[in-house]
Amino acid sequence: MIERTIFIENAEQLITLKGLSGKPATFEKMSSLSVIESGAILIENGIIVDVGTTEDLRHKYSSKIEEAECIDASGKIVLPGFVDPHTHIVYKGSRENEFNMRLNGATYMEIMNAGGGIHSTTSKTREATEEELFTESMNRLNKFLLHGVTTIEAKSGYGMDWDTEYKQLKVAKRLNEEHPIDVVSTFMGAHAVPKEYKEKPDVYVELVINEMLPKVAAEKLAEFNDVFCERGVFTPEQTRLILEAGKKYGLIAKIHADEIEPYEGAELAAEVGAISADHLLKASENGIKAMAEKGVVGVLLPGTAFFLMTEAANGRKMIDLGLPVAISTDCNPGSSPTVSTHLIMNLACLHMGLTPAEVITAATINAAHAINRANEVGSLEVGKKADILIANVPNYMQLQYHFGMNHTDTVIKAGEIVVQGGVRC
Ligand code: NIG
Ligand code: FE
């Protein structure tokens, strides 16, 4: 946060998403963008001071504006900086060889069960020094910023031994301290059963519960606790044990649920009171309804279905059933090696049936709800953090209409201009 007054004015559309901070948006509220035409926003010391029409704010704050740094957003839209609520950005290496194998007919789970996939990135991440991991993850974070992302969640889970999980969590903490993007940490020791425990998965579950979770909590290394609940990975029973144990340490539950096969992950998310359940490609209608009833956010990952060449989650139906939906890149080296929030939004429209307005809600305020940050970010309202994206399009529909493009012009993070004209300041 810096001491500076910024006045953004003349926005063709100022997309505020007002009034959605209390609980995640559902049904028609997902289209309630509260757009102000010829919009303006006044920022002081990193915080939003007022939001309105350019005419009103110029009148109300004429002397302050004389001293302020003014940004003319004519021809552009202004919206909250994007929140990415599900990433695995702290990892080493890449897996283009597996991409090639999949294009030659192998499946994601076959590759993983043969010792590749998550295990392959785990080996490389175990070998990497903390510095190497930091540098590689920092590069990814820089690219996210250029796409207008101002808050990101980052999971551990490429260690599956304490030393490496610790190393990943420390890197996430350093990224949060040293990079403008806010990095929110999730412990995911239960990302897979490590090779050493292949024949005794319950012993690994005990290790996560009795040794790793207490250490994560003692050093406050994470806010969330996530499990890959999938046939051949962790069962719903094991997932329940790990998430309930985490809750005792104050860690909020998340689940990678029903991604490859129906496995009652959505039902479990509702039962344990998870803040979100993510993926949900194969979630049952009852599971979605149970989540909706409990206000569990469904985090949909259109890039993952696209890259794994599978049918996307039915986002349209989920919204129509009352589920609050968020979207995310799922940035990771195996199933979604991308940082393009813009492409993810395009895919949410084109492959999941969300409308352009719903997609914006899913990438901002509902994404903030999925990581417990809706009181701070995700909408442009008085008192919130000045995390703002100015996009180079005259209306929000063009964000999705011109697909596969990065429309970022300016990014303001906590009142500081960090990207201008699409390049890092
Ligand atoms: O969210 N599904 C499990 N975890 C990641 C993929 C991790 C990997 O393949 O490296 C996901 O898609
Ligand atoms: Fe994931």
87-96 pLDDT, tens per residue? 999 999 999 9
Strand, coil or helix: what is 388?
A: strand
Q: Is the distance from the beta carbon of residue 281 to the nearest atom of ligand 1 less than 6 Å?
A: no
Residue 88 assigned ligand-binding role: yes
> For residues 296 and 370, what is the distance between their CA atoms, to the nearest angstrom?
8
Query: Percent of the chain having pLDDT more than 70?
Result: 100
pLDDT at 1 over 70: no
- For the CA of 118, the nearest ligand: 1
**Which whole-number Å values give the CA distances from 196 to 32, 92, 356, in the listed order?**
50, 20, 46
> For residues 177 and 213, what is the distance between their CA atoms, to the nearest angstrom?
23
Residue 259 assigned ligand-binding role: yes
- For the CA of 86, the nearest ligand: 2
Q: Is the distance from the beta carbon of residue 117 to the nearest atom of ligand 1 less than 6 Å?
A: yes
Q: Which atom of ligand 1 is nearest to the CA of 334?
A: 9
DSSP state of 258: S
> For residues 268 and 237, what is the distance between their CA atoms, to the nearest angstrom?
9
pLDDT at 127 over 60: yes
Per-residue pLDDT band at 319 (split at 50, 70, 90): very high
Residue 332 assigned ligand-binding role: yes
pLDDT at 335 over 90: yes
pLDDT score, position 2: 57
- For the CA of 192, the nearest ligand: 1
Q: Is the distance from the beta carbon of residue 121 to the nearest atom of ligand 1 less than 6 Å?
A: yes
> What value does the mean pLDDT of the chain take?
98
Condensed to tens digits (0 to 9), the pLDDT of residues 260-284 reads 999 999 999 999 999 999 999 999 9
Distance 330 CA to ligand 2 centre (A): 5
Distance 184 CA to ligand 2 centre (A): 14
Distance 191 CA to ligand 1 centre (A): 8
Q: Is the distance from the beta carbon of residue 333 to the nearest atom of ligand 1 less than 6 Å?
A: yes
Tokens for 123, please give them: 């080996």
Residue 158 assigned ligand-binding role: yes
Please give the average per-residue pLDDT across 317-321, as a whole number: 98
Q: Whole-prediction pTM value? A: 0.98
Probe target for ligand 1 pocket from 118, 153, 309, with the most ligand atoms within 8 Å of CB: 118
Per-residue pLDDT band at 216 (split at 50, 70, 90): very high
Whether 175 contacts 152, CB under 8 Å: no
Strand, coil or helix: what is 40?
A: strand
Condensed to tens digits (0 to 9), the pLDDT of residues 385-416 reads 999 999 999 999 999 999 999 999 999 999 99
